[in-house]
Structure 1
């Protein structure tokens, strides 16, 4: 496939990707699949070889044609230095970075780049996963996700357009924000959740085995991203220290009020005046906040119905369930899988349109599945 064969593809390349981790390799996979030539560079020969073997591009050489676009996908503590090096090395290329903090990168680049700053546009795809490295890369990682574009006063319009086009070509939706706006936003919607997951998971280190045996899907949901790379996240959090600290102080205030209410209930009884209301307020505020999280494809939140089905723990059973849901003419909007320690079956909770709940339960029951009443 060539770029000309891909309708609407604006990124023609060559594109150079510096950093062959999760984001860099995912960019390379998506562009390579569309026929765009991708040159890969990484400080780690092993990471570079893995990204190459996965099909994310070919290692950059001194004889390569000059890239028209350079994507810097390195940890935020070194991103600015790499951006500056690429601006100098490729004097005609547009250079962007995908670091998850923007203010420190933008400030360092603008302070040292001189006229080359016109070819720099910061960006950040709001996509990722708890696993890192090229082995976790996915050509569809950015599909349907916001991609923040952070232009500077010095950015050429053509450079901004090139970065927006990259986001669109990878299936993302460009969102224009300033560096401070971006950093404040990700502190709340990305960095704070990471810390919350890590703090909860850290309480499990010394937990009794008997308590962990009772763990359900709620604990797994809350702690899923606690498996993230500690070194990478240390660099991210330090780079966005002030906004993250502000968000944590607000949470600390809520936690202090919650602890005070619990202490009153413990000392004076659960019916102590004010204690119940304080506890309900915390959960109620959480309800209100969760209701504001955008729904599927970034649209308005939608209400779904749920169908819960026991799935035997055997090869092919989950695939058979999906196939038979499709045969029933129902689209699965979301999926949760719950497992209990020692159980020989899992509980698949399928989110579907409310009107599809009854027909789907009947169809699955007729096909021999055990449907569990919600």
Structure 2
């Protein structure tokens, strides 16, 4: 791959452009907002000039509702030989591409599972996709050339490719991304009615639960609407669990004594299922360490990166270390250190340390 065009210079588009440019790919930046393009170009993400000939790949980084129309328009103008997108919904945009007469042989749906609460080109990072899953959804009409080019894109961005059928992808992200965002937003909305002294008591638990609620409301409305079919049955299941929980708590406060034991059993069962479901989530970062913990390796090759500074940055990230493994040597400086954390803390620790300039493996 020698040339690329990124259409949409928000967080994801600019991060892709930064990754490609850092790998020597001439990248053209396209956006209806000229200010966004200027900011992305100022970050070193690419050139704001349009290409003089079709580029090797165009990456469409726009909301799901306008993916198909954007691809159709740029195929008409012969922007690229291969097209992919980063929409978090895949079945509906593909159906719309077919309805618009797009050349789907040159198209591979894509979805990098990475992001930040902050949006826009100023929040972009070239390593945003490092070690993250990047789903590709080729269809029977997708050409081998198009799929190989999309796989090359994923590789250049440092991500891990996963191939899925579009409907399988949409059901998966409804479960692990879209439903959690809804729950986080609905929980965070309760804080609007909370008394001031209650909100001031907010600690790490409520901050973790509501972290993703800070996303762009308009964008998330677009995403949820595009994946409504996959979300509706999950919401129905969640509603039944909420009703069961409310019923159990009501029996504990108002019911006779003989019903309270049953209510406690129902509540325990709900919480146990939650604990078991949480245990199914595999960590994306690090390797298995002793005691069931995850080991994250941090490079100490930079002489300015001292151990004290690393521990300060870990503390600032609000991650609890289970242990730290140092090389069995008195030689200085250290090449690397291994941090042991709980499996669910590996990803936030990795992101936080990379934000602070550490090389994390």
TM band (smaller chain): 0.7 to 0.9
1:229-270 CA distances to partner (integer Å, 9 max, x unpaired)?
A: 000000000000111111111111110100000000010378
User: Does the aligned pair in 2 maintain the 1:125–1:145 contact within 8 Å?
Assistant: yes
8 A contact 1:294–1:300 mirrored in 2: no
Task: Kindly indicate whether the alpha-carbon contact (under 8 Å) linking 2:286 and 2:294 is maintained by their aligned counterparts in 1.
Answer: no
1:179 aligns with 2:166: yes
Equivalent position SS for 1:122: strand
- Per the alignment, residue 42 of structure 1 pairs with 31
Distance 1:254 1:300 in 2: 34
Query: Residues 270 and 337 from structure 1, CA distance in 2 versus in 1: closer, same or farther, beyond 3 angstroms?
Result: farther
Deviations along 1:313-369, one digit per CA (max 9) or x if unpaired, are xxxxx986443599xxxxx7xx7855xxxxxxxxx522447xx59x9xxxxxxxxxx
Which residue of 1 is the match for residue 242 of structure 2? 255
Q: Is the 8 A contact 1:145 1:298 kept in 2?
A: no
Would you say 1:350 and 2:321 are equivalent positions?
yes
Match of 1:99 in 2: 87
CA distance in 1, matches of 2:306, 2:286: 27
> Shift of the alpha carbon at 1:279?
1.2
Question: For structure 1, which runs of at least 5 residues remain unmatched after alignment?
Answer: 1-11, 307-317, 327-331, 339-347, 360-374
Q: Does 1:70 align with 2:41?
A: no
Matched residue, 1:228: 215
User: Residues 270, 128 of structure 1: CA spacing in aligned structure 2 closer, same or farther, 3 A cutoff?
Assistant: farther
* RMSD, aligned CA: 2.7
2:226 to 239, 255, 258: 239
Q: Which residue of 2 aligns with 1:60?
A: 49
Aligned residues: 316
Structure 2 residues without counterparts, runs of 5 or longer? 296-304, 329-361
Contact 2:112 2:134 in 1 (8 A): yes
- Pick closer, same or farther for the CA change 1:287–1:156 going to 2, 3 Å: same
CA contact (8 A) 1:144 1:298 kept: no
In the superposition, relative to structure 1, how do residues 57 and 238 fare at CA in structure 2: closer, same or farther (>3 Å)? same
Q: State the TM-score, normalizing by the size of structure 1.
A: 0.78
Q: 2:9 — aligned with what?
A: 20
Partner residue of 2:156 out of 169, 188, 198? 169
Matched with 1:8 is: none
The one of 135, 138, 148 aligned to 2:125: 138
Relative to structure 1, the CA distance from residue 319 to residue 45 in structure 2 (aligned partners, 3 Å threshold; closer, same or farther) is farther
CA distance in 2, matches of 1:113, 1:298: 44
> How does the TM-score come out when normalised to structure 2?
0.81
